[in-house]
């Protein structure tokens, strides 16, 4: 999860708190947890004793393999997690996410070409190390089940800039085949899709549009054992809406038998203000409300697992970046002390009946039945929208109508901006709000027989007028004349890129660390951040230095 400040506005009413006739015991492993880092030995033992049976952790290529030489691989960190899983009786989802800087130049892009071949070798080695017949498990208390997840939030535009369904489906197919060539019994799941795209400002695509595009790719459904989403939203109703939207697309593509998995969801209880920041008490209430509904209505989506992110809050200094609400979504504080939500979390992962009738009665419209008949009229697909913008007077949104995947003609469109009255519109529609902040446009199509899109399509974005700031954290001048600088940006919505220059030369795209061999003499280095909305830092950071 990254800087996700678009707000999903939804219309589902949960209707929780109904009188329950029976106490429910959640299925073992239905609920789980992930984190910024793996649980400590003490946390793993405590959570395992409490009934936790599913943990998700990220596996970055560069975190294990520090150079192109495969002999540089150090599996110690993941070995410890796997050992704890065996000893403390929980299974694992390992998220294969992040290229190696030495291979791709960044962790925030998928490997291609020769790098993809090398990455497949890394994945093959990881699966071989932990597959059930591996000698690694000799003498262990048990062999946990490992599910391999291929990348993270691929539609958001952060971990995979400018994503397309075709490119990701091809990557998923290649990595899935690599995993299963080593362990034919392995469970492989797709990257989670977020209902709040545009987190990286690099061509994020709406969940519904991206998922529909994936279903159009040959072999997609054979490459994944589940459809996976993230449940980040303004409130529990928003999380439920994400599940409904994804499930509608599954049903429309005759994929009802495929299970769904939520690998991340949560709300922050501190940090900088954001639409996703609540009080610690409200964080606990949101966990109970959303998880009670997901448990009671799980048949509605064929829901298999739901995981909270994160186990523990994180100190932004660990990442050398500005603070943001995502570092405060934990069940535990930075010092490891529990928040109120932690105790409710233990109720859901334990093997004891839930209190107060939680998880017993599905009160959503339609109950546990969500079929294709629940959606009617032409389907509206948002073709393009900028999810972060610095122009409050110009926000073009392009959309199109289809029926059973085929384009339709003769439809009339209606739009509703920020819950205002419906009015006629055409694509592209200028959804300018005239103000800073979060905005939502709902779109419906009415065909010649007067059938209207139900539910309407919805797209969100943020107008950001506050520029970012740029901070240089370190500089170094080597004896050979090589200058290097590390820097980061500060923005409430996240940084998209940087521009650097030496002296009065033109600004050019750059990344931290910046390195350049320079001639002897005095020089000035400048760097400015550009946020996701396109705002440039009006006061770039400058450093004067000399090369001797």
160-174, 443-457, 464-478: segment of lowest average pLDDT: 443-457
Give per-residue pLDDT as tens, 268-322.
999 887 778 999 999 999 999 999 999 999 999 999 999 999 999 999 888 877 7
Give residue 464's pLDDT: 87
Give per-residue pLDDT as tens, 68-89.
999 999 999 999 999 999 999 9
31-357 and 469-547 agree in CATH topology: no
Give per-residue pLDDT as tens, 486-541.
998 888 777 888 999 999 999 999 988 999 999 999 999 999 999 888 899 999 99
Residue 375, pLDDT above cutoff 90: no
**CATH: 1.10.10.10, 3.40.50.720, 3.40.190.10, 3.20.20.80. Which one for 31-357?**
3.20.20.80
Please tell me the distance from the alpha carbon of residue 318 to that of residue 297, in angstroms, as a whole number: 39
Please tell me the distance from the alpha carbon of residue 459 to that of residue 447, in angstroms, as a whole number: 21
Give residue 10's pLDDT: 38
Give residue 405's pLDDT: 64
Give residue 204's pLDDT: 79
DSSP structural state of residue 240: H
Domain 376-463 indexed as CATH 2.60.40.10: yes
Give residue 354's pLDDT: 94
Give residue 35's pLDDT: 97
Residue 9, pLDDT above cutoff 70: no
- Rounded average pLDDT over 443-458: 84
Give residue 3's pLDDT: 35
Give residue 287's pLDDT: 97
Sorted by sequence, the CB contacts under 8 Å of residue 449 that are 6+ apart come out as: none
Assessment of whether the complete model's pTM goes beyond 0.75: no
- Rounded average pLDDT over 114-130: 97
Give residue 198's pLDDT: 53
Give residue 96's pLDDT: 98
- Rounded average pLDDT over 430-456: 86
Q: What is the CATH number of domain 469-547?
A: 2.60.40.10
- Rounded average pLDDT over 348-369: 91
Please tell me the distance from the alpha carbon of residue 435 to that of residue 417, in angstroms, as a whole number: 13
Higher-confidence residue of 543 and 382: namely: 543
Q: Show me where the domains of the chain are located.
A: 31-357, 376-463, 469-547
Average model confidence (pLDDT) across the chain: 89
Q: What is the CA radius of gyration of the chain?
A: 24
SS3 436: coil
Give 243's pLDDT tier (boundaries 50, 70, 90).
Answer: very high
Residue 465, pLDDT above cutoff 60: yes
DSSP structural state of residue 251: H
Which parts of 390-436 are beta strand (E)? 396-403, 406-407, 412-417, 423-425, 429-430
Give residue 202's pLDDT: 53
> Which single residue is written with the structure tokens 């339609």?
366
């Amino acid at each position: 999860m990254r800087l996700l400040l678009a707000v999903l506005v939804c219309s589902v009413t949960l209707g929780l708190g109904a009188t329950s006739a029976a106490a429910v015991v959640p299925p073992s492993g239905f609920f789980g947890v992930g984190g910024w880092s793996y649980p400590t030995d003490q946390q793993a033992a405590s959570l395992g004793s409490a009934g936790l049976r599913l943990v998700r952790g990220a596996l970055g290529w560069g975190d294990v393999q520090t150079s192109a030489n495969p002999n540089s691989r150090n599996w110690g960190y993941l070995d410890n997690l796997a050992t704890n899983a065996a000893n403390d009786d929980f299974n694992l989802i390992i998220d294969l996410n992040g290229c190696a800087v030495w291979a791709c130049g960044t962790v925030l892009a998928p490997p291609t070409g020769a790098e993809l071949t090398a990455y497949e070798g890394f994945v093959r080695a990881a699966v071989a190390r932990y597959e059930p017949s591996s000698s690694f498990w000799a003498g262990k208390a048990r062999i946990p089940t490992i599910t391999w997840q291929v990348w993270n939030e691929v539609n958001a535009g952060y971990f995979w800039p400018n994503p397309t369904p075709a490119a990701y489906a091809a990557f998923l197919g290649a990595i899935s085949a690599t995993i299963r060539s080593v362990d034919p019994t392995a469970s492989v799941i797709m990257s989670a899709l977020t209902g709040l795209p545009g987190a990286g400002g690099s061509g994020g695509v709406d969940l519904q549009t991206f998922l529909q595009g994936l279903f159009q790719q040959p072999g997609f459904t054979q490459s994944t054992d589940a459809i996976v989403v993230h449940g980040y939203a303004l409130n529990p109703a928003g999380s439920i809406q994400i599940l409904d939207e994804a499930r509608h697309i599954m049903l429309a593509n005759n994929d009802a038998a495929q299970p769904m998995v939520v690998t991340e969801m949560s709300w922050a209880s501190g940090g900088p203000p954001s639409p996703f920041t609540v009080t610690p008490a409200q964080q606990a209430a949101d966990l109970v409300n959303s998880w009670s509904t997901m448990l009671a209505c799980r048949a509605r989506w064929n829901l298999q697992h739901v995981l909270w992110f994160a186990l523990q809050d994180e100190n932004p200094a660990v990442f050398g970046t500005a603070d943001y609400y995502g570092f405060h979504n934990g069940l535990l504080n930075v010092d490891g002390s529990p928040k109120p939500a932690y105790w409710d979390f233990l109720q859901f992962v334990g093997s004891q009946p839930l209190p107060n009738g939680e998880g017993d009665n599905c009160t959503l419209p339609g109950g546990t039945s969500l079929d294709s008949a629940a959606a009617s009229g032409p389907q509206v697909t948002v073709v393009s929208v900028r999810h972060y913008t610095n122009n409050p007077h110009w926000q073009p949104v392009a959309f199109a109508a289809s029926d059973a995947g085929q384009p339709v003609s003769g439809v009339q469109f209606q739009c509703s901006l920020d819950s205002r009255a419906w009015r006629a519109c055409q694509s592209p529609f200028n959804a300018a709000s005239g103000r800073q902040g979060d905005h939502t446009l709902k779109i419906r199509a009415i065909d010649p027989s007067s059938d209207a899109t139900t539910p309407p399509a919805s797209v969100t974005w943020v107008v950001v007028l506050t520029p970012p700031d740029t901070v240089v954290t370190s500089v170094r001048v080597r004896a050979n004349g090589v200058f290097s600088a590390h820097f980061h940006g500060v923005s409430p919505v996240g940084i998209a890129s940087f521009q650097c220059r030496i002296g009065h030369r033109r600004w050019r795209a750059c990344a931290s660390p910046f390195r350049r061999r320079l001639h002897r003499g005095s020089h000035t280095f400048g760097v400015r951040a550009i946020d996701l909305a396109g705002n440039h830092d009006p006061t770039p950071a400058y450093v004067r230095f000399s090369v001797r």
